[in-house]
Structure 1
């Protein structure tokens, strides 16, 4: 064995240790998020209920008015700034919840610990991905194991970037860490592949361009899907309150703390719309790469077909979301169907379909 090969083997082993270490820290972050949701005070359901049943104080969407007596005997009517959000169906105004920690110092402390642990786990995982790349001097996404570890790293990176930009996405922390642990568990258990060189078809600079954009798009689509799922739960909760129902303990302790359904719906739409042009570029880049590698730009291979199906599904969602009759839940279902298409393109085609793109590296 040459010194270079031994060094590569050492870097590959270091990468494995870093990935396992990140999983351990993600697990601690998971329990910290659980503590944040559990030990934070439970917000009063009456807070949202009052917002849903307050039309007597003004029409829906109208700001409350304050009358101020002037010294000369006149009266000036001032508009009080609104602190509520228009719901997706436009029928009511509902305030955002106080967040996972329920507005308490104890809950917020655990939330900060959870975020700090997530940052540490992200750094460890990113170091593991980089070590894997250095072990073979190439892009670290040549098989499904490498794709999965890189994908989860980018997902967490996007989430942390939104937090750094002061965006209200703390509510995504628990589902994020949970699914990242699931992704890494599948990667190290069933998808693991020894560090090795690329198959000839992948040995191209397009690997850096095409696959990196696909990974980033998937990370953003994932965050949009999380927002969509939580939107559906929160919207059902708001509808139940508006109809005079009494939410159960789960709704009291969890759903009340989430942003309003309108806020979640807007978040999902914005992130999906923002990354859709990049997904379009990803498909075009893949076609150009196919032209270089196989002498044709499009051959209706399974990966090409499902990439296009995903594009059509997200295009239908964005079109439906921009159409008044398809806002809210109907559009949300389309968004989840689109993300399911992306997931099948991610796992199914690579692992279960006989395709030119079957590079899972799994026996």
Structure 2
């Protein structure tokens, strides 16, 4: 039996959450634009001050004006040395932006917290409507994954200033929820007999948590690649100026993947154990099993490449992006178009 009232309440909560997330996206976008503009203005002021100091210093040193040309050594007190290097690499704090930028960022963060509450509530109401764990089909899988991603970001934002990260988390989560409501929606119903196992909760819950972390990792990886390209070209302007330096972004990208990879490893192992109980074999190269293993191999390759000196961090990060694309393929093409023992999407063909 299902509870239609609870199911309808869940649907309403998710639709409202999507609307709130859309508003959060606007707020975070304005925050990045204003923060980048403020950072550009500060950089321009410092550049003018440095030129003025160089002119004043040259005119007072023996009365001769000295000019520094590209390639010539520069006075360490003005622009080089460990202090200058560490300052250049230090990520900007959200408090260093203009008051207006921070205000928009805080609005975005508060809206994200509200959306997190709504998504979690929608997931709980879905669970109450079917009196089971909401893990039986693609739609419910997205709800739980989105809940984990938003909870992780919300908790992270309480400990550190992460206003700049909001758009990189909220955007993919919003797209996931919109796709789930428009194309992958499944009416509240009971589980298929094959899924009635304690391993459903263990296996799928860890899978949703790991994918939530991979979603955040993909957002960070994208931010790093864009920022690193701009820094390489020497054209860090606009909203890119509001992001932390590329090395800091890369370290965060690596850190989130270090957390996610063991969880995905457990997902693959627990799936094999469940397969042995359900079908009498641990592994059968079913399309879902194959792509789960492909994802594991790609992310293992990323972590290995990241630790190998012969690979640049940029090249290694592209491997992580490929890993996330494999997740997308596994969740969409494999679930919807390939037939196998894991055909539990719940979406009508």
Question: Same fold, TM exceeding 0.5?
Answer: yes
- Deviation of 1:328 (Å): 1.6
Please state how far the C-alpha of 1:95 moved relative to its aligned partner: 3.5
- 1:309-338, Cα deviation, whole Å (9 max, x unpaired): 111111111011001121321101111111
Would you say the 8 A contact 2:21–2:170 is kept in 1?
Answer: yes
2:148 match: 154
Alpha-carbon distance in 2 for matches of 1:238, 1:200: 55
Q: Is it true that 1:131 corresponds to 2:125 in the alignment?
A: yes
Q: Which runs of 5+ in 2 are unaligned?
A: 48-70
Find the counterpart in structure 2 of residue 67 from structure 1.
none
Q: 1 CA distance for matches of 2:198 and 2:80?
A: 53
Question: Residue 288 of structure 1 corresponds to which residue in structure 2?
Answer: 273
- How far apart in 1 are the matches of 2:200 and 2:279? 15
- Root-mean-square deviation (Å): 2.5
Distance 2:276 2:346 in 1: 24
Give runs of aligned pairs for residues 350-361 of structure 1, distance below 5 A: 350-361=335-346
* Residue 44 of structure 1, aligned match among 32, 40, 43: 40
Cα distance change of structure 1 residues 288 and 252 upon mapping to structure 2, 3 Å threshold:
same
Contact 2:28 2:163 in 1 (8 A): no
Distance 2:218 2:294 in 1: 17
Equivalent pairs counted in the alignment come to 323
Aligned match of 2:61: none
Please list the CA deviations of residues 61-102 of structure 1 after superposition, one character each: whole Å capped at 9, or x if unmatched.
Answer: 9424xxxxxxxxxxxxxxx9x743xxxxxxxx6332455x87
| Correspondence 1:165-314 to 2 at 5 A | 165-166=159-160, 168-241=161-234, 247=235, 251-314=236-299
Distance 2:174 2:269 in 1: 32
Mapped pair 1:31 → 2:31: no
* TM-score normalised according to structure 2 size: 0.86
C-alpha separation in 2, matches of 1:309 and 1:27: 33
Say if 1:317 and 1:331, in contact at 8 Å, map to a contact too. Answer: yes
Residues 170/61 of structure 1: CA separation in 2 closer, same or farther (3 Å cut): farther
CA distance in 2, matches of 1:178, 1:224: 13
**Which of 99, 111, 114 in structure 2 is aligned with 1:105?**
99
Indicate conservation of the 8 Å contact 2:106/2:163, yes or no.
no
Q: Output the TM-score relative to the length of structure 1.
A: 0.83
Partner Cα distance (1:28, 1:58) in 2: 47
Q: Which runs of 5+ in 1 are unaligned?
A: 65-79, 85-92, 242-246
